[in-house]
Copies of this chain bind each other. A is one copy, B any other.
């Protein structure tokens, strides 16, 4: 088939997968890092920061936005982007829970 069978999984599982998937590309990781580094809203210069064509960057920004990892606001004919902490927090909380569940583990077989 090729299509992932999201129907069979919980909303939470699909949600986490969706956010993680958005992080699952080096260009989008680079965008997140850049936005975190400049520590501010950034208008316009994200395209110049990446070794990719403008439409490609625009696509990646869209993906990050849809996943709730970045926010964008229009400023004249430019668009300002910054990190949406909620998305990062969701992943952090999720992995913390997962981590907690396994810390007491004393598995010797693996």
Contacts and interface: CB of A to CB of B under 8 A. Distances in A.
A70 to B, nearest CB: 8
A16 B29 contact: yes
Given A109-B73, A110-B80, A27 B9 contact: yes
- Interface size on A, as a range, is 35 or more
Contact of A33 (B35, B39, B91, B98): B98
B26 A23 contact: no
Interface in A45-87: 50-52, 71-73, 75, 80-85
Given A9-B26, A82-B107, A92-B95, 14 more contacts: A10-B26, A17-B24, A20-B21, A20-B24, A21-B24, A23-B24, A33-B98, A36-B101, A40-B107, A41-B107, A75-B109, A85-B99, A88-B95, A88-B99
